Amino acid sequence: MKRRDFITLGGAAVAWPLAARAQQRAKLPTIGFLGASTPSVEGQRVAAFVQRLRELGWIDGRDVVIEYRWAEGRNERYAEIATEFARLKVDVIFMLGTLPVITAKQTIAVIPIVFLVSDPVGSGIVASLARPGGNVTGLSNQLPDTAGKKLELLREVVPGLRRLAIMANVGNPAAALEIGEVQAAARTFDLAVATSQIWRVEDFAPAFEALKAARMHSMSVPSRS
C-alpha cells in the first residue's frame, strides 16, 4: 500500500494521497505584478503592495502567489511580460504606468488588469472613470492636472526662472499629456521651453549635456505613470 495521508470527514477516516493535497495547495490565486523599473527602484511600492494585501488577509505564499516581472526601463518588455502572464494564467495583473497598461490591454483581453496611472481617460485606457469597461480598472492620480500648479511653485522657488527644460520619455502617452500641460503653463508665465526627448536609458547622458550647454534655469520631469 502506498503512503497516504488520512483526514477525518464526518467521523470517518478518509485516505487522501499526498500528491492530491500538494496539488490543492498549489492552486492558489496568482497575481502578476508588472514593474516598469527594477526591484531596487520599486522596493517601497512593492513593500506597500504586499503590506496592504497582508492587511486584507492575503499573504504571499499562503493565500496568494505573486509573480514579479520587471521591465527594467525597456518599453519592449511590456508586451513580453504580458504574454508571459497570459501563458502562466495569472488571475489578475497589477501594474503602474500608462504605457504598460496600454500594451497589456492590447495583448490580453480576458485577464483583469488593475492599474494606477495619471489620466486613464485622456490616454484612452478606459472610456470613463465611472464605467471603465473591458478588462481594466484601477485608480487615477490625476498628475497632468497638477502640472501647472507645480510650475507655479517652481517659479516661487526660482524667482529668476526664464528658461525651463522638460525631459520626458516621449514614448509614454502620460508623459506626452503632462508635457502639454507644462508647456501651456509655461506660455502663461512667458518662459522659454526646451524639451529633451528620451526614448531609452542611453538617451539621458546626451540630453543632460545638451540642457547644460543651453544654460537652462530649471527642469521639469513629467511623471512616467
Q: In whole angstroms, how far apart are CA 197 and each of 22, 46, 149, 169, 171?
A: 52, 29, 23, 6, 9
Alpha-carbon span 141 to 25, nearest angstrom: 37
* Domain boundary assignment for the chain: 30-141, 144-220
- pLDDT of 192 above 70: yes
30-141 CATH: 3.40.50.2300
Q: Which residues, at least 6 apart from 122, have a Cβ–Cβ distance to it below 8 Å? A: 144, 177
- Condensed to tens digits (0 to 9), the pLDDT of residues 75-116 reads 889 999 999 999 999 999 999 888 889 999 999 989 999 998
Give pLDDT, residue 1: 46
Alpha-carbon span 127 to 148, nearest angstrom: 25
Q: How large is the average pLDDT for residues 166-178? A: 73
pTM beyond 0.85, yes or no: no
Q: How large is the average pLDDT for residues 165-172? A: 75
| Placement of cell 516581472 in the chain | 69
Write out the three cell numbers for 147: 502640472
Q: How large is the average pLDDT for residues 188-198? A: 80
- pLDDT of 12 above 60: no
- 144-220 homologous superfamily: Response regulator (3.40.50.2300)
